[in-house]
């Protein structure tokens, strides 16, 4: 049974409260439409896409994955499984220097996923925050627009607006242009779908050898997003040093520290935007926007329970807490990619196939059980779950 925390814990690193997740049910976002039936959602980490790419391309190391590729392809074709990708997949592929290897990955991803993608973690977080604030403070006058969990293409994965038609004055005239297209709306849709497909392919393939002139003209930097992850990894390395300065925190309220940093670094802006948008709905006797937290969270335990109820927030904080418990863990940008991908997929997919080390942390934190998600580390184990 999960430990229940006292609501009056003292603020010191020896307190048990703040060390583990609070015992609270998830507050699932009401504006994020996740398929409740139909195909299983199966998320594969990049290393498993590499194995399938080797099988498809006839690489010597890929022979043992041939039957798994065939099973996944059958599942995709017969629509009893969907294999969505994430922004982390695009970012990690961008690090691969060999053009041929990127193209091999693109071919197998296109065959199995069709570029179906899950939203960026920042998008999912915003929906979870809005649902949380709806329940704590009240509805916002600027309600967030409901959206599907699954979309298509690199724009969807990165949380960007897709192709739009803008007037010279900067007005969005996409719908007007679609309605007046000389060959009809269907032809317009096909044009946009083809553009999205070509962009998604290019996002994975990158530039081919010999495209130096085009590369220079476009000022394309395939590692720009990876450098963002690198900077975020450095922030975790700096936190390791802080924990090392007083190791009692690792034995005490380590989760509180990680959660506070997560709030400030990852979700601070959408959280405060949500609070500010709801200021008119507070009672007249309530404090101004700067006092919202004191109004909503009467005690520290209330804040823990509120933030722990957000699925993606819980995944990220639980994983980072588990990593930080080990003073010898060496943070890398791949850790950031892994945690971001898990935050977007573990709460909402049926099956997640990742590497052995990540699987170990997921099991250690109890995330797989809490979220009722099958988590595998071996690709060969997937066949029995499709």
How does pLDDT run along the chain (386 residues), one tens digit per residue? 232 223 334 334 444 567 889 899 999 999 999 988 889 999 999 999 999 999 999 998 999 999 999 999 999 999 999 999 999 999 999 889 899 999 999 999 999 999 999 999 999 999 999 999 998 888 888 889 999 999 999 999 988 777 788 888 888 888 888 898 888 889 888 888 888 889 899 989 987 876 655 655 555 565 666 677 788 888 888 888 888 888 888 888 899 999 989 998 999 899 888 888 887 454 444 444 444 455 555 567 788 888 999 999 999 999 999 999 998 999 988 999 999 999 999 999 999 999 999 999 999 999 999 999 999 999 999 999 99
SS3 at position 220: coil
SS3 at position 168: coil
DSSP class of 117: E
The pLDDT assigned to 283 comes to: 45
105 neighbors 203 (Cβ within 8 angstroms)? no
Rounded Cα gap, residues 103 and 208, in angstroms = 10
133 neighbors 170 (Cβ within 8 angstroms)? no
Rounded Cα gap, residues 119 and 60, in angstroms = 34
pTM of the model: 0.86
Supply 95's token pair.
């690090």
Rounded Cα gap, residues 143 and 131, in angstroms = 10
73 neighbors 80 (Cβ within 8 angstroms)? no
The pLDDT assigned to 11 comes to: 37
Rounded Cα gap, residues 10 and 287, in angstroms = 26
Rounded Cα gap, residues 118 and 346, in angstroms = 11
The pLDDT assigned to 343 comes to: 97
Q: Note the pLDDT tens digit of each residue in 51-62.
A: 999 999 999 899
4 neighbors 21 (Cβ within 8 angstroms)? no
The dihedral sign for the CA sequence 311, 315, 318, 320: negative
The position carrying tokens 């919202």 is: 292
Supply 83's token pair.
């294999």
Task: To the nearest 10°, report the CA torsion of 291, 311, 128, 17.
Answer: -10
The pLDDT assigned to 379 comes to: 95
Pairing status of strand 81-82 against strand 40-44: parallel
The dihedral sign for the CA sequence 75, 194, 157, 94: positive
Phi-psi region of 230 (alpha: psi -120 to 50; beta: other; left: phi over 0): alpha
């Amino acid at each position: 049974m999960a430990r229940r925390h006292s609501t009056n814990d003292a603020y010191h690193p020896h307190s048990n409260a703040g060390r583990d997740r609070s015992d609270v049910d998830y507050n699932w976002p009401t504006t994020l439409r996740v398929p409740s039936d139909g195909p299983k959602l199966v998320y594969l980490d990049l290393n498993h896409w590499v194995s399938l790419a080797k099988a498809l391309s006839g690489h010597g190391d890929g022979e043992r994955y041939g039957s798994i590729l065939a099973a996944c392809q059958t599942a995709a074709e017969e629509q009893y499984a969907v294999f969505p990708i994430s922004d982390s997949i695009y970012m990690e592929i961008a690090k691969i220097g060999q053009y041929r290897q990127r193209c091999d990955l693109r071919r197998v991803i296109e065959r199995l996923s069709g570029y179906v993608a899950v939203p960026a973690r920042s998008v999912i977080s915003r929906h979870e925050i809005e649902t949380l604030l709806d329940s704590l403070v009240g509805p916002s006058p600027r309600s967030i627009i409901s959206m599907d969990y699954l979309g298509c293409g690199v724009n969807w994965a990165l949380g960007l607006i897709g192709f739009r038609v803008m007037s010279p004055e900067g007005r969005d005239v996409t719908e007007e242009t679609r309605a007046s297209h000389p060959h009809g709306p269907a032809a317009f849709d096909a044009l946009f779908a083809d553009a999205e497909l070509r962009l998604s392919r290019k996002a994975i393939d990158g530039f081919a050898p010999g495209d130096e002139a085009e590369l220079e003209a476009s000022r394309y930097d395939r590692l720009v997003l990876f450098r963002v992850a690198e900077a975020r990894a450095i922030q975790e390395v700096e936190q390791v040093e802080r924990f090392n300065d007083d190791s009692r925190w690792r034995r005490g309220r380590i989760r509180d520290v990680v959660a506070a940093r997560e709030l400030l670094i990852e979700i601070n802006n959408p959280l405060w935007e949500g609070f500010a948008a709801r200021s008119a709905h507070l009672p007249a006797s309530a404090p101004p926007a700067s006092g919202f937290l004191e109004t909503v969270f009467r005690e520290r335990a209330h804040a823990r329970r509120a933030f722990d109820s957000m699925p993606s927030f819980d995944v990220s904080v639980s994983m980072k807490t588990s990593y930080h418990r080990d003073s010898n863990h060496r943070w890398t940008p791949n850790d950031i990619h892994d945690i971001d991908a898990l935050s977007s997929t573990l709460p909402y997919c049926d099956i997640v196939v990742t590497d052995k080390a990540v699987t170990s942390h997921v099991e250690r934190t109890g995330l797989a059980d809490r979220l009722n998600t099958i988590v595998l580390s071996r690709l060969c184990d997937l066949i029995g779950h499709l």
